[in-house]
Structure 1
């Protein structure tokens, strides 16, 4: 293909690029009152990965706004759990029927979360969804929660599937993994172990199968065009780039009151964030992942257990002791 023909092919993809970008629902303002973005994104040396860090925002008394974050994440469960086509159908109803249907969808979404497991990671998965969709404007293209066959089990495979079309017409698919541990080192190791098979091509077959059958852009034409990227008979299937998104949640002692105390703790936080970035580099190198683009979100929290409890409380799930 000549350079002119290649450019023509890219130009023809512009409407689809714009259509996929319009799939993003909402923005950072929906969680900004509970989250603080600390520092600038760090490009991990020798890799294509980016490290970002978010803390809970604190009130004037230094109390982290965990309950507020849990409320804001709970507000996202319809978009997170329910396929776009179902939501679009509600928008076509008469105004007097929309509210009952929206309420039904919210109840259906809440029931998809595990009801009895204590150490569930679904709250972290919901947070990862928000960081990708609200923060980086990368839309979810497959609602895996809607595919659960039992509310007492978490789904298998990647914790999230997001995608965006690049300016050159390639489709970047983001496999998400979210981990919550007391130890940051354990969370990092487990997260990298989980994401590695998806990026090296040894574990994503099942989720690609789900994409082929359940991807939903809320628009039949856009969905059909996206599916061309997952049809091995289409030349577009050669233009898919597998990327990663990792949420690393962990206990951080002496929790800072941000952003009010940022100046006094900046040196300490800069040092620890730098160490997390270096540890990320080591783990990427050990797993031969330096060529893959991965968004790595560090989320220190004052209590992992309280984070889980707060999410369950907002979803009206009885918290087992």
Structure 2
């Protein structure tokens, strides 16, 4: 059973700089394409328009408006804009795009699909995907995104959020939603007929494996980290090819310097047995850029 996957055209606007393997964890470093010594944000904005529809709207809603792309696009933009007012996190959409296009992990649900109160926006994972492994087993991938100026801080906050999610606690130590809640949410959502009967049955087998199942299912995590990169004004005067090389080398060095920190956080929070897929992307003037992209894709 194959659920809808985004095509990999989303990745055309990026350079995949490096991939690090830390035991069960994979850290993929991406950079936006550089045009005239600037990150090409226009290409990113364009590449988010189509994924925004699949991210924001359920399969049922998309089927209802099949053949009416203008209405479908408007519905998706309205829903995403409403979501941003409650949550304000572009990183969740980017995480969705990377998991679908790069990891080939189809979405089971995103928080925008929920037809409940907006309070659910702040609960649980930033989205749920699944991946079929080469050995025939599966992973349920719970998403977490952080876009913060400081790379180390963003990584620390992401792993802390995963720890709290897994252990159903919050910063004050009180009970909060976690893995059981999220799996129950998926199951409840399936009954609202977002999926076909065949898709429901398939997903239920992944969420709650049966005795006769011929595969194993493990909980995994997907993380998107957006951080702010500082570029010296003098570097803007470099020839284009030299600028690309220097900035890409700077990005790779900044992430390489944090690999020990990532491993430390995994150890600190005892996340050893989980596969964790980390996607890292730098931005210039993060807050300003994030706001502009959000405005462009929802107008």
Aligned position for 1:312: 294
Structure 1 residue 280 displacement after superposition: 0.9
From the superposition, tell whether residues 176 and 279 of structure 1 become closer, same or farther in structure 2 (CA, over 3 Å): same
Structure 1 residue 310 displacement after superposition: 2.2
- Find the partner of 1:32 among 12, 34, 50: 12
Aligned position for 1:84: 59
From the superposition, tell whether residues 306 and 67 of structure 1 become closer, same or farther in structure 2 (CA, over 3 Å): farther
Aligned position for 1:191: 158
Structure 1 residue 254 displacement after superposition: 1.1
Aligned position for 1:276: 258
From the superposition, tell whether residues 259 and 130 of structure 1 become closer, same or farther in structure 2 (CA, over 3 Å): farther
Contact 1:133 1:140 in 2 (8 A): yes
Contact 1:84 1:218 in 2 (8 A): yes
Aligned position for 2:273: 291
Aligned position for 1:301: 283
Aligned position for 2:31: 55
Say if 2:44 is the partner of 1:64.
no
- Find the partner of 2:78 among 111, 119, 136: 111
The CA RMSD over aligned residues, in Å, is 3.0
Aligned position for 1:224: 201
Structure 1 residue 120 displacement after superposition: 4.5
Contact 1:51 1:296 in 2 (8 A): yes
Structure 1 distance, partners of 2:201, 2:222, is 25
- Find the partner of 2:148 among 176, 181, 197: 181
What is the aligned residue count? 284
Give 5+ residue unaligned stretches, structure 1: 1-18, 92-97
Structure 1 residue 90 displacement after superposition: 4.1
Deviates more, 1:259-268 or 1:47-56: 259-268
Say if 2:41 is the partner of 1:43.
no
Say if 2:225 is the partner of 1:248.
yes
Give 5+ residue unaligned stretches, structure 2: 170-177
Local SS of the residue matching 1:36:
strand
Structure 1 residue 292 displacement after superposition: 1.2
Structure 1 distance, partners of 2:283, 2:93, is 16
Contact 1:142 1:161 in 2 (8 A): yes
Structure 1 residue 290 displacement after superposition: 2.3
Structure 2 distance, partners of 1:270, 1:250, is 13
Structure 1 residue 247 displacement after superposition: 0.7
Structure 1 residue 192 displacement after superposition: 0.5
Structure 2 distance, partners of 1:222, 1:277, is 38
Contact 2:86 2:121 in 1 (8 A): no
Say if 2:97 is the partner of 1:122.
no
Aligned position for 1:10: none
Q: Deviations over 1:212-258 (max 9, x none)?
A: 12247844213212212334765549832000011111111017889
Structure 2 distance, partners of 1:242, 1:79, is 23
Q: Deviations over 1:22-81 (max 9, x none)?
A: 532311x23413x22112x1001xx3101111112111x212111321232133111111
Structure 2 distance, partners of 1:200, 1:152, is 20
Structure 1 residue 162 displacement after superposition: 0.6
Deviates more, 1:221-230 or 1:172-181: 221-230
Structure 2 distance, partners of 1:239, 1:279, is 31
Structure 1 residue 288 displacement after superposition: 0.9
